[in-house]
Amino acid sequence: MRTEVHKTKDNSVCVSLHFDTKGLTLSQTPFGVIVKLEDLNSTGEPGTPALPRIQLRLALPEPFWPGSLKIAEDNWELVTDAGTLVVPAQQYRPGGSGEFQGAHPAGETALHCAGDCTCRTIHRPDRSPVDEKDKLPAPPFTPPIPEAYVEAAKNPPPIVQAVRIETIGANRIAVVEVTPIRYTLKGQLELCTHVQLAIDAVKTPCMTDKDQNEAIAEFSKIYGKDVDKSRVIPEPERFISGSAEASRLRDLAISQVINPIVIGSIRRDWPIIELRSDYLIITDDVTWDPVAITPGVSRPGLIKEFERLAEAKRARGISTRVVSITDIVAGRWGNFRAGSRDLQEVIRRFLKDVRVRWGVNWLLLGGDTSIVPVRRVAGALEGGIDPPLTVNPPANNKSFYTGSHLRIHAVNPGTWWGASTDNLLVRPDTGALIRYDAAGTSSSTSPGWYFTTADDYATRSATPTNFVRVEGPSSLVNAGLQFIYAWNTLPTDFYYASLTSWVVRTRPVRFGAVTFQMPYVYTPPHDWDAIGNGVYGQFRLDGSDMDGVNLQIELSVGRAPVETAAEANTFVNKTLAYERLGRLGWRAANRQWPRNLVLAAADWGSRAVFWPTGNAVPADGQYSHDATQSRSLLKRDAAPGSFAWDVIARITEDDRRVLPYKTDANPVVRGWYFATSATDPTPSRFQMNIFGTRISWPTRSPWVIIHGSLAERTPQLYEFNPRGADGSMADQEILRKQIRSELPGIDRHQRFYEDEFDLPFIDRIAAPVDFLTVSNIRSALDAAPHIVSLSGHGSSNGCCSLSANTASNLTNGPLGFIAYADSCLTNQFDEQDSMSEALIKNPNGGAVAYIGNTRFSWIGVGDNFQRAFFHRLTATRHLGLLNDSRIATFGTSGFIAGADRWAIYTLNLLGDPELRVYRAAIPSLRLPLIKVKLRKPFIRILGERKVPSGPPVFGDPSPVKGALVHVRQGPKLEFTGVTDADGVVFLPEGRFEKGELEVTASHDEYAVVADIVQVEG
């Protein structure tokens, strides 16, 4: 996609978008055509055509708002000659570990060896054994919905449509969705090669009492109660504490919009801050009970260790303070406990206050969740029960309404489901909570749910079962419901970052000839719980908010997941080592270190092997042979999640035969197909009328029939393998090329892929690549890379052959790497202890920072967030701001935007949010003088000069102008100055005594230097 911004005479915005047929790929499969367009995601509502879409952001100049959207011109080109059946979009799938199917008959079902163990010979030579424990099942296949395809041809979506209005700093941002491929009435596909769109700019219209009253009535209807009028107002402008925050917001806007030229300069009228603290560390020397808001076990020494980090920040000119939870709760800075439900709300209310009074921009949570609690919110995915059907008793994970109560057969409504009285039951459309009825008081007028002993739903059970009875009014319970359980309850530190809580609705306001959608907001009494049911952060599957969670960030937040002073010492040491490129004497060698990148990918694909069984009907991961019918029958645990597969008969280790896919059941024809069931060997098909003809379309199922020679029907085992490059590796290759283009200074790449054999030749030779094994990834990490990107199925114990145990024992030294994982659960820091925590706490190596998911990641979604993270590095170096890029990624993954909101909550940063990430080899500052005279004392700062041509090398040091120099002697004597053109800063004469003087020098273009000099007479 190519964009072109046009100049306009007024304040409107005009942009042209160009889509080239060279970037279009149409891949024919037995199940339809997979459509891909470069830079876009192919998505849609499950069962509808999966067509490419993209959301774009266009900035309006200050102080204007976006008005009407117009299409000035558009050009279309046919890309298929006949009616084309595009594969239907599918439900998102979690990227958790354990996708390998097929236990060896001897019983090896768990991860029993290292990835490079000799037992790999029982698997494909290019694959490693995978953990079968806690396998994440693929969601069921969603067949095409005929009416949706007909509708897509009759009424295709507009090429460009408005989505929402956002605010970044002082600029209003129009978010639009572009759908450049559509159906014609004959079922052909056509591509929009060029479209020009224009957005009018309008001034903020005036509000009337009538407008506000209508907004109040709407909010009252939503929440079923009278809403306090004072809590409903037009959306206010964001409070900006000063030039530092304004600069960050401006950089954010520039990096996110396609017309950055309209982003204005930074304003100068800043609020007066009573005692500025740009950087805030919240910690304590005790654990806390967040519900009772009472202290617990002593953890001495944490405050002292984080004071060391605060001193280092102040030495770089960043105002910093450390506050204890004890002082916050005691009311030292105000009474934040009164009216708060728990400790999380106390801390949040404190932060909202001091952000304005102190100008806080960076927040480090100095402790594990036992010290600084995490907020847990309700996820909109998983645990769903469809609206009631007419079958009684209901089938698995279905419901039936009797006229007086609802019956739910909850066998496995969500991944890793566990029936428990701790689970919550909610209406996913309204957020209404139906509480567990422990006392037996629920009725048709008093909502509640409980377990029953059997499928007659008559007898209450005190212990959990699969049978759930729901009492309450028909208007409440005769509907689709959702269980909130352990794995769709999302731990998130975003609660401490997004401090504005309101529910947004728009009201049409007339402004001249333009009808403008003005946003109104309702501010709830308890942030993130506008519904008022004690369940925080509820949202719908489409990503829309119900509880007042505003997707904007006031504070960049990181967490130090430590519980002891020793762990805090390690965290601070590694942070300072990164800033200073290690200890004195190492800097010359380490200045090239930022160039090093490691990419690892474990397969997303549901690769499976099937072992022979003597049973007529095979179990999951097995096959049976029927000699009388000249066929074999394979059984998967579920229909596969993608559309292109190879079935391989492994006759011997040296004789592996790829069997072709076929569409008929004739045993004479060699090949394989999906069968209808174990007892019905006919091909599984789906028929529908579309584009004027009846189409019989093969569908996937868990059953596979194989015809062929006797050897091909009775092999050692069968392999069911995704065709072509695995999606995880493909995601990493897109990222590698992005980094190569946008961040050319990070140019030393190492790759470790499970599917490296499927790399195209041109990509294989682009950088070193090897098979992903435990020993390979460990050797690469012990060699001290700078950036590590992991992609693949994961768990709290790790991913990509990197376990928590390996992470704890890495020996890459004090220069920790920055790791990003597009994977499930590797950052599950609310448990003891995840792989991310092991990396952070390792005193001999590991990571200085980690970004990953506290719960499931979603395949096809997480990679968008990772690319946005590294794209943001082109605009800012601060680690927290890189992770904050996830906000702008909302809505980019397609129809189920709830997966985007889920990722915003679960992608948490372990590490210093202010840490400046290196983008290339970095020169060092130097202190040439080791002695300072009492009379006319001064400090000289030199810096290495970059040689203008060739690879990144540095010449002789020269004076550095504009370096910030901080000197400290003892606990009270401090001075800060800036070097002149000669690299010199003069110290006040007579202020310092003989002895040691701590000197720290910093500059944006150099690594920090901190050293000791002697003051002499």
Residue-wise pLDDT for 391-436, tens only, equals 999 999 999 999 999 999 999 999 999 999 999 999 999 999 999 9
Rounded to 10 deg, the angle between the 727-742 and 862-872 helix axes is 10
- Whether residue 100 lies inside any domain: the answer is no
Shared domain for 678 and 734, answered yes or no, is no
Coil/strand/helix, residue 851: strand
- Whether residue 963 lies inside any domain: the answer is yes
Question: Which residue is associated with the tokens 């435990």?
Answer: 774
Shared domain for 731 and 808, answered yes or no, is yes
Max avg pLDDT among 353-357, 563-567, 773-777: 563-567
CA gap 62, 937 in Å, rounded: 49
Of 484, 509, 536, the domain-final residue: 484
Mean pLDDT across 650-676: 91
Host H or E run for residue 575: helix 565-580
**pLDDT mean across residues, the chain:** 88
> Would the pLDDT of 913 be above 60?
yes
> Would the pLDDT of 974 be above 60?
yes
pLDDT at 72: 84
In the numeric block, which tokens belong to residue 267? 């304003």
Of 722, 737, 761, the domain-final residue: 722
Segments of 579-727 assigned E as strands: 596-601, 608-612, 622-626, 631-635, 645-652, 655-659, 671-674, 685-690, 693-698, 703-707, 717-722
SS3 string, 739-794, reads HHHHCCCCCEEEEEECCHHHCCHHHHCCCCEEECCHHHHHHHHHCCCCEEEEECCE
Q: What are phi and psi of 897, to 5 degrees?
A: -70, -15
- Whether residue 29 lies inside any domain: the answer is yes
The sign of the CA dihedral 737, 743, 746, 748 is positive
Q: What is the CATH number of the domain that holds 741?
A: 3.40.50.1460
pLDDT at 574: 97
* Per-residue pLDDT reduced to its tens digit, 647-657: 999 998 788 89
Shared domain for 707 and 730, answered yes or no, is no
CA gap 518, 507 in Å, rounded: 5
Q: Domain range holding 156?
A: 2-94+140-202
Rounded to 10 deg, the angle between the 862-872 and 243-256 helix axes is 120
* Per-residue pLDDT reduced to its tens digit, 821-848: 999 999 999 987 899 999 999 999 999 9
* CA distance readout (Å), 945 to 203, 337, 402, 924: 50, 54, 80, 9
Shared domain for 899 and 937, answered yes or no, is no
User: Of 728, 607, 777, 658, which Cα lies nearest the Cα of 124?
Assistant: 607
CA gap 640, 722 in Å, rounded: 9
Shared domain for 433 and 466, answered yes or no, is yes
Shared domain for 22 and 170, answered yes or no, is yes
Q: What is the CATH number of the domain that holds 995?
A: 2.60.40.10
Check: CB of residue 938 under 8 Å from CB of residue 945.
no
* Per-residue pLDDT reduced to its tens digit, 332-375: 999 999 999 999 999 999 999 999 999 999 999 999 999 999 99
Mean pLDDT across 11-31: 90
Shared domain for 20 and 80, answered yes or no, is yes
- Whether residue 653 lies inside any domain: the answer is yes
Shared domain for 768 and 832, answered yes or no, is yes
Check: CB of residue 419 under 8 Å from CB of residue 466.
yes
The better pLDDT of the pair 600, 163 is held by 600
pLDDT at 170: 76
Shared domain for 716 and 830, answered yes or no, is no
- Whether residue 12 lies inside any domain: the answer is yes
Q: Which residues of 844-879 are buried (b: 16+ CB within 10 A; e: fewer)?
A: ebbbbbbbbbbbbbbbbbbbbbbbbbbbbbebbbbb
pLDDT at 41: 86
- Under the banding of pLDDT at 50, 70 and 90, the label for residue 128 is very low
Of 452, 484, 516, the domain-final residue: 484
- Under the banding of pLDDT at 50, 70 and 90, the label for residue 711 is very high
Shared domain for 794 and 896, answered yes or no, is yes
> Would the pLDDT of 140 be above 90?
no
- Under the banding of pLDDT at 50, 70 and 90, the label for residue 587 is low
Check: CB of residue 265 under 8 Å from CB of residue 237.
no
User: Of 909, 787, 800, which Cα lies nearest the Cα of 854?
Assistant: 909
The better pLDDT of the pair 251, 375 is held by 375
User: Of 419, 424, 428, 429, which Cα lies nearest the Cα of 451?
Assistant: 419
pLDDT at 517: 63
pLDDT at 114: 34
CA gap 866, 837 in Å, rounded: 20
Shared domain for 76 and 182, answered yes or no, is yes
* Per-residue pLDDT reduced to its tens digit, 718-750: 988 777 788 899 999 999 999 999 999 999 999
Mean pLDDT across 623-628: 96
- Whether residue 119 lies inside any domain: the answer is no
- Whether residue 930 lies inside any domain: the answer is yes
pLDDT at 95: 64
Q: Which residues of 727-750 are buried (b: 16+ CB within 10 A; e: fewer)?
A: bbbbbbbebbeebeeebeebbbbb
* Per-residue pLDDT reduced to its tens digit, 42-54: 888 888 999 999 9
The better pLDDT of the pair 990, 868 is held by 868
Coil/strand/helix, residue 957: strand
Q: Flag the least confident range among 106-115, 868-877, 989-998.
A: 106-115
pLDDT at 63: 82
Shared domain for 813 and 896, answered yes or no, is yes
* CA distance readout (Å), 411 to 147, 482, 489: 31, 13, 19
> Would the pLDDT of 118 be above 80?
no
Read off the pTM. Answer: 0.84
Host H or E run for residue 903: helix 898-906
CA gap 448, 193 in Å, rounded: 56
Number of domains in the chain: 6
Coil/strand/helix, residue 914: coil
> Would the pLDDT of 112 be above 60?
no
- Whether residue 515 lies inside any domain: the answer is no
